[in-house]
Structure 1
């Protein structure tokens, strides 16, 4: 499978180029950007054969695209790739808002092409192990708390730009909401939210509360700049005990899983290939027809609906899109 990159994003070597060396079915063959100089330097450094001046020019040359563009451009270029008959691996969040996610889901369903939202952590064995413990050991789930906080003091970063669909809930909160949803099959509702703003309309931190149809409660804490400088983890409380997980997002670097059931505590480590390698392997398999897409557009629609609801509950508008 020939895959091309739309934009010379700094995440691309970690999320795609490095993993492609471990997934023989995938070859990174092209890159495009609006300014030719960055992709040319990027291509030389990473051994990419083709460089294009526009994203549209790249599409006929590949079988699939990887989209690490600003959030506001995700839906537009996912839809254009699908119209060109190309499969899509798109960085999270899949779109700027729920309405765009519905458009992408409808088009993916119509074309039968693979669209995968790049929640790479979901493809590591740790994610399934967490789900298994919650389902078989903790009893009825009562509360799930999910945190994704990291420091981003570079306030000129595109993730702080409203016109590019930025904000902490988009960049960090999408992870927190997604991982909170792993432990209850029902679609939660937002019961409250509070934002800390960096600029008008742009959240640097967000706390939101949820309630699942089962009665379980949820809370997410997301931040790009707050007192919680680094906080990445989960806490799942059931009637028989609790599970705590530190760094479920990048477990190959380090993680800690602690389970207490009926007063007995144990710790586990879950080994496996890097999340990005497993994600790319799953993407290639899904393109080939296997049922390996764990983060399809239908799931993205729910996540984006909740992100929109969090913004509204916090007194902010959901993100828009720019051309």
Structure 2
């Protein structure tokens, strides 16, 4: 219990690292409420990251943010940060609908020639869609128990309590890309794609709930969707208006029955296994997570399938560090108090510095991800979120 409390405290009050001379200087566009957790705190403990500047729609708000979080420079506009030669990287925690103007409409941006290496530009800019939870070791440990080709069904869910969002928040602003699918569901979608190791062929159903007040009725606050993948069905649900108590996100994977070689059995018998793997807490694993593996075994007659023996083997696992997760990246730096945003920042810096990153969200992945979001909104009847007019 003491170690849990210590890990939790250190995650949100990390030690300040001594900064290196070649540290990457970040600018932040917008004094968003997610910025301290997503960038300010993770940067504190990274010796190669400095949050140098911030701009907001309201300069007074930017100044207040800078004073509170120790950001040296305040700029009047987002463009001033973009144009500043002393800023090496930009973090964009703006609403979905503003991402393209300052970062991305996935298909357009990731195919810009400016992002491709050339003779005159051997090291093009690095662009990352910040799916922070995909960088946490817990998710990668979980995936070691999953065999994508054998997966037949996946259920994922996520939520935030109703008191966390209000009707007039950005999450329900249609023009800014609001809705539960965009706000939370896209994380579920990404996990589904990682589990199946492929892309959905069709969105079979997508049922949504909206306020129906004539103002916010294009933004879903709850959705439930079902996708057909090449070898199975993925179901997913999310809500921004959940019960008063927080429920950890969940990904539950069911595999098809497979034959397990067993040389101790007579020639007319076989051993089969059906596996279910569940990751509790795929969104914010640092708060709490657990990986449950349940293997159901049957020894049976091959001729007619009559069971001879049946039993269940269960185990539970956790992974807060790369060492815990194992595999080829087990030797990379990692601390048990690093939240997913800190693991993400580590991968970003490693990529910039030309070192190996334990995980990366490619431009191709981001484009495929948005296709899945579009499939859901089309099926729901609410329609696609507005496309930016910025060019």
Q: TM-score normalised to the size of structure 2?
A: 0.73
Work out whether 1:186 is the aligned partner of 2:198.
yes
Per the alignment, residue 206 of structure 1 pairs with 223
Q: 1:53 is matched with which residue?
A: 76
> Which structure has the higher relative contact order (CA within 8 Å, separation 6+)?
1
- Partner of 2:384, secondary structure, is coil
Report the equivalent of 1:82.
Answer: none
By how many angstroms is 1:76 displaced?
Answer: 1.0
Q: Give 1:229 shift.
A: 6.5
Structure with the bigger percentage of helix: 1
- Within 2, Cα distance between the matches of 1:192 and 1:180? 16
**1:109: how far off?**
3.6
Q: Could you tell me how far 1:226 is from its partner in structure 2? A: 4.7
Q: Which structure 1 residue ranges, 5 or more long, are not aligned?
A: 79-94
Question: Partner residue of 2:153?
Answer: 143
Q: Distance in 1 between matches of 2:239 and 2:195?
A: 22
Matches within 5 A, 1:1-323: 1-59=24-82, 60=84, 61-78=86-103, 95=104, 100-107=105-112, 109-110=115-116, 112-135=124-147, 140-151=150-161, 152-189=164-201, 190-198=203-211, 199-213=216-230, 215-226=231-242, 230-231=246-247, 232-239=249-256, 240-262=274-296, 263-272=312-321, 273-292=338-357, 294-321=360-387
Give the deviation of 1:317 after TM superposition: 1.0
Structure 1 stretches of 4+ with a deviation exceeding 6 A read none
Instruction: Provide the rounded CA distance (Å) in 2 between the counterparts of 1:148 and 1:50.
Output: 37
Distance 1:206 1:104 in 2: 28
Question: Which runs of no fewer than 5 residues in structure 2 stay unpaired?
Answer: 1-23, 118-123, 257-273, 297-311, 322-337
Listed one character per residue, the Cα deviations across residues 91-112 of structure 1 (whole Å, up to 9, x for unaligned) are: xxxx5xxxx2101111264363
For residue 308 of structure 2, what is the aligned residue in structure 1? none
Aligned CA distance change for structure 1 residues 229 and 203 (closer, same or farther; 3 Å): farther
Q: Deviations over 1:29-64 (max 9, x none)?
A: 000112100110111111111100100011223010
Tell me: CA distance 1:315–1:70, structure 2 relative to 1, closer, same or farther (3 Å).
Answer: same
**Counterpart Cα distance in 2 of 1:165 and 1:297:** 20
Q: Which has the larger radius of gyration?
A: 2
Contact 2:138 2:289 in 1 (8 A): no
TM-score, structure 1 as length reference: 0.88
Count of matched residue positions in the alignment of Structure 1 and Structure 2: 300
What SS does the aligned partner of 1:8 have? coil
| Contact 1:126 1:270 (8 Å CA) reproduced | yes
Structure 1 position 153, deviation (Å): 4.2
- 1:58/1:304 CA distance change after superposition, 3 Å: same
8 Å CA contact 1:73–1:321 kept in 2: the answer is no
What CA RMSD, in Å, does the superposition of the two structures yield over aligned residues? 1.8
How big is the shift at 1:113? 1.7
SS at match of 2:108: helix
Report deviation, 1:230: 4.0
